[in-house]
Structure 1
């Protein structure tokens, strides 16, 4: 019985200590949300946060990646401030910190942006493959008709040979 009491007391103390040592929470929206979180050089990035309040605007700083300053304006989306910037084509791969400061000046929010050389979106091939053979219905209908006739003759000859073999006449 004593062992269970110690276990429960230890667990309660651990939970209390964790809640006291945690930073004051402003909710899950207190972070700077960067979308997409991974982008190729030259790509556009959207940034939003609810940490500045319902009517709060913010000024953003993406100079770490070379994009400079941008503005986050209040929106109707759950009181979030939203802004955009474009990653310069000369940006090098790596992880960059994006910072926003609320217009009231008392809160600074940070988020990470990863610059990669390959896009997360799959790239599918387009167009035709240049093999030099051409299509089945090429530009010359005479050659197409000759090919169809050759296939018909081969099919008829194969059928005749199989029929002869089945009767026992041989080749």
Structure 2
């Protein structure tokens, strides 16, 4: 190998090892305030958490952008997480709002909350479906009883005719 090749290979290896050493620090971004769920409807409960406050750290949260006001973030059972909750006001308008928190160690973090008017949960329909076909337990039991009686008479008449034909009496 030539000197230039060794120099380039050594430089590439040094850069790769420096990047790999910094990768764990890049993966855990303490400058973020995680909002869950990231998209909420007015009146719903939202959780905010961060690792920026350190182990046992607390923070003062500010959701006044969406109209919820101040809330506290306290240490949780998750290692180094400070967690707090607030309720999206029922008067909140759709849009994206910046939620902020300031840790007792002086670090400030923020995250975005998207307010929508509709929930993405599946809604199960309730009540009767008006298809125009009616049913056995429809709104008029008298008509239902008349229909059942007509079917019974038709079945009895058909059975009597088939019986006569089988005996050879004719119709």
Query: Does 120-129 or 154-163 show the bigger shift?
Result: 154-163
1:159 deviates by 6.6
Give the CA RMSD over aligned residues: 4.3
Q: For residues 132-156 of structure 1, give each alpha carbon's deviation from its aligned partner in whole angstroms, at most 9, with x where no partner exists.
A: 9875246987655433221123345
Structure 2 alignment gaps of length 5 or more = 165-170
Give the match for residue 44 of structure 2.
Answer: 43
- Equivalent residues, number: 167
Give the match for residue 168 of structure 1.
Answer: none
Give the match for residue 119 of structure 2.
Answer: 119
Match runs of 1:29-68 below 5 Å: 31-68=32-69
Does structure 1 retain, via aligned residues, the 8 Å contact 2:100–2:108?
yes
Cα separation, 1, equivalents of 2:59 and 2:79? 16
Query: Does 13-22 or 64-73 show the bigger shift?
Result: 13-22
Name the TM-score, length of structure 1 as normaliser: 0.69
**Aligned CA distance change for structure 1 residues 97 and 18 (closer, same or farther; 3 Å):** farther
Give the match for residue 99 of structure 1.
Answer: 100
Cα separation, 1, equivalents of 2:30 and 2:124? 36
Name the TM-score, length of structure 2 as normaliser: 0.69
Does structure 2 retain, via aligned residues, the 8 Å contact 1:74–1:82?
yes
1:98 deviates by 1.1
Does structure 2 retain, via aligned residues, the 8 Å contact 1:49–1:81?
yes
Give the match for residue 83 of structure 2.
Answer: 82
